[in-house]
Each structure stands twice: as C-alpha cells, then as structure tokens.
Amino acid sequence: MRSFGTNATHTGGSAIKAPRTAVLARPARDRRAPAIEVRHLAFTYPGDPPRPALDDVSLEVASGELVAVIGANGTGKSTLLKLVGGLLEARSGEVAVLGRAVREPDARVGFVFQEPRLLPWRTTLENVAFPLELAGRPRPERDGRARDLLALVGAADVGGLRPHQLSGGTRQRAAIARALALDPGILLLDEPFSALDALTRERFNVVLQSIWRSTQTTILLVTHSIPEAIFLADRVLVLAGRPGRVVTEVPIRLPRPRTLADQDATMVSEAASRIRAALGAPPDPARPAGEVM
C-alpha cells in the first residue's frame, strides 16, 4: 500500500511539553519495520442476520507512525481496532502486530476506549498501576511508574483521587496513562476524546502529540474529527461503506511538532477537502481555509 517510515518524523519541541522521565526513555524504534500489518481483512459479526463490518481491508502502519482512521458511523472502525488489538478474532484475512500474528490481546499493545473504563473503587494511581500489578511487578516499581505516567499525561496531582472525583478529561488522561503502563509498542485509540469539549480536546491533541513523540509509540487513532486527524496524523485512512473498506489514504505532510495556531492553511484545507470528499460529505464553502483546525 505504501513504503514504510517515510512520514514518521519526530523533530523539534512542542507547545505543551510532556515531562520526560528516565523510566520512559528508550532507544528509537526501528521505523522501517511495520508495527501493524492488516491483509485482506474481512469481518462479519455472527447472528441472524449476520452483520458484515469490514470487507477486504489492507493497511500497514510503520513503527513510530501515527495513523488516523476516519469514517462514518458503522463503517467498522472499532471492529478494525478490536481485531488489531486481539479483542476479536480475525477469521478472514491476516492481522499482525510487531511481527506476530494476532490471536489474543497482547501486552505490547495498549488500548484506549471511548469511555475511560477505570475501576471505580481504585484510586487513579492504582488504576494506572493495575496492568503492572497484573504483570506481577513489585509495589514500589509500579507506584513509581504510575506516578511518572500520570505526570506524562499532565495529571500528576490526581493520583490519590478516585475516578468519580475527576473531570471527564482527566479520567481520559488516566486511561491513556494506564494504556502506557506496560510500555506498549502500539497504542490503539478508539475516539478517546469524543466526550470532551472542543477546547479541552484541542489541548489533548497537543498533549497526545507530545506523548507520542516522547514515547515513540506507534499509534492507530480512530476519530470522527477531520481537524483532529489532520493535526495528529502522518496519514489519514478513510473507511467508507457497509461493510467498511479503506477508500482513500491522505498523507499529511505538515512539519512537526504541530501547533494549533501555526498550520499551513492551504495544506490543511486541501487535506480536509480530500477527506471530506472520500467521506461523501458536502464541502463547506462557508468555512475559510484557516478555520479547519
């Protein structure tokens, strides 16, 4: 579908800095090797009638790349992520992550859902530390790492609070921190910011870009927001149809780090038009190019 690694650039500083901590530092990943490979994937939910969700989807995500998937409701975006994450079993076609065929959930793959899914009886710190507890790590190590991760997502001060005491945005930060706990090579994000207000969401996009750059994690992000996809992604894949197929791939050749204010308006509006056309949405003549972000 494409050659690997050509768009994965991680250079320069960022508008909102994520603190770098020793525990998160690691050597650069090999950007030539594909982190995610999907070949001729089809999926139908069994039932009466059966519900076809995906048809002949092929894609590759290079190590260190951030790829966004956008598409109308019901085009199979969540199904695709669940198949890549091993939450659903691929029966037709192939799915591999980090060089291994996917058969079940893999500790090397972190998953963030639309709703944070934190355990209500645990503190935020204990929630973030939970995967480390399941992995049998000793208490001081997991508490220290959970604290570092909360700092990384900008929620250092809420470790002692329970989920119901947090705002929706902070809960989602904690969910991202938890997904990073086992230092996954891949992060699958299924509309992680859709419940947030527009301003909070924009700030989160900057934070996510910063986390991505500092951890060098490969990210596959499902979103309904064209501006969000363009701001974050190296490439945008457009899913359309029922069952869903990849109908267009739009490379986003904007320099990094990207800021919300400083965007090449022409490039952004061209990319937005291509994505909108592939989605089958009418163009928006009332919106000046600079307002796309």
Ligand X SMILES: Nc1ncnc2c1ncn2[C@@H]1O[C@H](COP(=O)(O)OP(=O)(O)OP(=O)(O)O)[C@@H](O)[C@H]1O
Footprint of Mg ion (CB under 5 A): 77-78
Strand extents, DSSP E, the chain? 34-45, 51-62, 66-71, 92-97, 100-101, 109-112, 186-190, 218-222, 235-240, 245-251
Residue 156, amino acid: A
Contact flag: residue 74 with ligand X (CB under 6 A) = yes
Q: Which is nearer to Mg ion, 78 or 205 (CB)?
A: 78
Please give the Cα distance from 136 to 129 (Å, whole number): 11
In angstroms, give the least distance from the CB of 201 to Mg ion.
17
Torsion of Cα atoms, 217 then 221 then 226 then 232, to 10° = -10
Q: CB of 77: closest distance to Mg ion in angstroms?
A: 5
151: phi > 0 → left, psi -120 to 50 → alpha, else beta; which? alpha
The verdict on 51 binding ligand X (CB under 6 A) reads: yes
Nearer CB in complex with ligand X: 102/152? 102
- Of the candidate spans 74-82, 152-160, 171-179, 285-293, the one that interacts with ligand X by CB under 6 A turns out to be 74-82
Using the rule CB under 6 A, is 53 a contact of ligand X? yes
**Residue 276 in contact with ligand X, rule: CB under 6 A:** no
Write down the least CB distance from residue 19 to ligand X, Å: 33
**Least distance in angstroms from the C-beta of 279 to Mg ion:** 15
Of 78 and 214, the one with the shorter C-beta distance to Mg ion is 78
Interface with ligand X (CB under 6 A), residue from 7, 14, 63, 78: 78
Contact 154, 19 (CB under 8 A): no
Q: Which is nearer to ligand X, 52 or 168 (CB)?
A: 52
Q: In the complex, what is the shortest distance from the CB of residue 292 to Mg ion, in angstroms, rounded to a whole number?
A: 23
User: What are the backbone dihedrals phi and psi of residue 253, each rounded to the nearest 5 degrees, phi first?
Assistant: -95, 55
> What is the secondary structure of 26-71 as a DSSP string?
-PPP-TTSEEEEEEEEEEEE-SSS-EEEEEEEEEEEETT-EEEEEE
Q: Are 88 and 102 in contact (CB under 8 A)?
A: no
Among 73, 121, 140, 286, binds ligand X (CB under 6 A): 73
* CA distance linking residue 163 with residue 121, whole number of Å: 8
Min CB(45)–ligand X separation in Å? 3
Query: Is residue 71 close enough to count as binding ligand X by CB under 6 A?
Result: yes
How many Cβ atoms are within 10 Å of 93's Cβ, its own excluded?
17
- The interface region with ligand X, picked from 43-51, 95-103, 116-124, 128-136 by CB under 6 A, is 43-51
Q: List Cβ neighbours of 247 (8 Å cut-off, separation of 6 or more).
A: 238, 239, 240, 241, 278
Name the one range near ligand X by CB under 6 A: 76-84, 207-215, 226-234, 261-269: 76-84
Binds ligand X by CB under 6 A, chosen from 64, 76, 169, 185: 76
Beta strands, E only, 136-201: 186-190
Task: Please give the residue ranges that form the binding site for ligand X (CB under 6 A).
Answer: 45, 47, 51, 53, 71, 73-79
